[in-house]
Amino acid sequence: MERVGRVRRILAVGRELRAPGTPLGQRARAELLPTCGLSGPGLELALTQHLEASATDEELRAFVSCAATRSACLVVLAANVCTAALRAVAFGLATAPRVFVRPSRRDPALARILADVLHEVVLIDDVAVAALEIDEAHLYGSDAALDAIAHTLPAHIHRLRHGSGMGLALIDEGASLADAASRVAADLVAFDGRGCLSPKVALVQGPRERTESFARALDGELAMFGARVPRGELDAAARAELTRFGGTMSAVGRVFSGSEHLVALDDEPRALLLPPAHRALTVVHASERVDEVVAPWLPFVTCIGADDAARESSLGRRFSASCPRARWAPLGAMQHPPFDGPVDLRAIA
């Protein structure tokens, strides 16, 4: 099948990019590091653990079945996750034999590499978008950015919007807090918490005292991760954003922070304040009011990390009903979605 063959070819490129000793792997590390926003160890983690390089036959069939069949496709990329271009371009290739890619101006490196090695992929700039002869556009980025881009496209072009998204971690009342904290930390450290699968909120079920115990355990795990995989350097605006968030959460709850992370605790939530995307996470007690507190954010949930017991809890079942297109993943595997479609499934009917 031609579409599967195109996807297999980009996965083969992914295998070369993963390996630090190949020419493509060396090029990726040299070109991504100045623009990706991650530390050197953070980039190595992203390339070796999270860049897609293989898929089962069943996954490939599912991946292609998610895509329409078009003659030409536009892919507009965001900059939050430096490896995201590979799956996004792969989904474009599942859709059409010709894929035009407008990379992020802040982090164009991986898109440029893919265009250099795949003849079906053509890199373009903002000016060229309006003149393209395409059937479909796959748009990645914040909701505000996608609104601006959509207005530049002719009305007849079918659009798939992969907009603002976030992850939730759900901690069951019977779970080991130490184990859960270790796994949530792994999910948060990847990409420094900037992706649509990255957990922004952890909901802790059970007695209220478990919430603080989990927050303290997560603080310790993130400190250990930070020693091995430092966070990328933050600019002044990002540091100010973290400081403001920490100050606000200190007023309503408690904050546990280190040089590489921030954990905010709110065990009596009245409203949910989302943290900035710099290895920060809000821990909330899953009280009887948690549905009301989380409800405004449910349309943005892309992934829910939970073990089987948490997923089958009454709260987990309510989330399944409220977020029918969200991915579910074991804690610690939120950043490893199966290669069965776009990372964000909300745009797929």
Residue 232, domain CATH: 3.40.309.10
Confidence (pLDDT) at 122: 96
Q: 247 burial class (0-12, 13-18, 19+ CB within 10 angstroms)?
A: exposed
Confidence (pLDDT) at 287: 87
Confidence (pLDDT) at 349: 61
Same structural domain, 53 and 98: yes
Same structural domain, 148 and 192: no
Structure tokens at 262: 């921030």
Confidence (pLDDT) at 45: 98
Residue 131 lies in a domain: yes
Same structural domain, 195 and 108: no
Q: Residue 279 in 3-state DSSP?
A: coil
In angstroms, the CA 288 to CA 169 distance is 17
Count of structural domains, the chain: 2
| CATH code: domain of residue 61 | 3.40.605.10
Distance separating the N- and C-terminal Cα atoms of the chain: 23
CB atoms near residue 58 (< 10 Å): 11
Same structural domain, 160 and 239: no
Confidence (pLDDT) at 71: 96
Same structural domain, 134 and 179: no
Q: Which of 148, 164, 180 is the C-terminal boundary of a domain?
A: 164
In angstroms, the CA 198 to CA 288 distance is 25
Contacts of residue 78, defined as CB under 8 A and 6 or more positions apart, other chains included, come to 84, 104, 140, 141, 142, 145
Residue 344 lies in a domain: no
Tell me which residue has tokens 């540091």. 239
H or E segment to which residue 44 belongs = helix 40-45
CB atoms near residue 235 (< 10 Å): 9
In angstroms, the CA 87 to CA 89 distance is 5
The DSSP output letter for 192 is: G
In angstroms, the CA 47 to CA 17 distance is 7
Domain of residue 322, residue span: 166-329
- The β-bridge relationship of strands 254-258 and 261-266 is antiparallel
Same structural domain, 149 and 210: no
pLDDT in tens, the chain (349 residues): 799 999 999 999 999 999 999 999 999 999 999 999 999 999 999 999 999 999 999 999 999 999 999 999 999 999 899 999 999 999 999 999 999 999 999 999 999 999 999 999 999 987 777 788 899 999 999 888 888 888 888 888 999 999 999 999 999 999 999 999 999 999 999 999 999 999 999 999 999 999 999 999 999 999 999 999 999 999 999 999 999 999 999 999 999 999 999 999 998 888 899 999 999 999 999 988 899 999 999 999 999 999 999 999 999 999 999 999 999 999 999 999 999 999 999 988 6
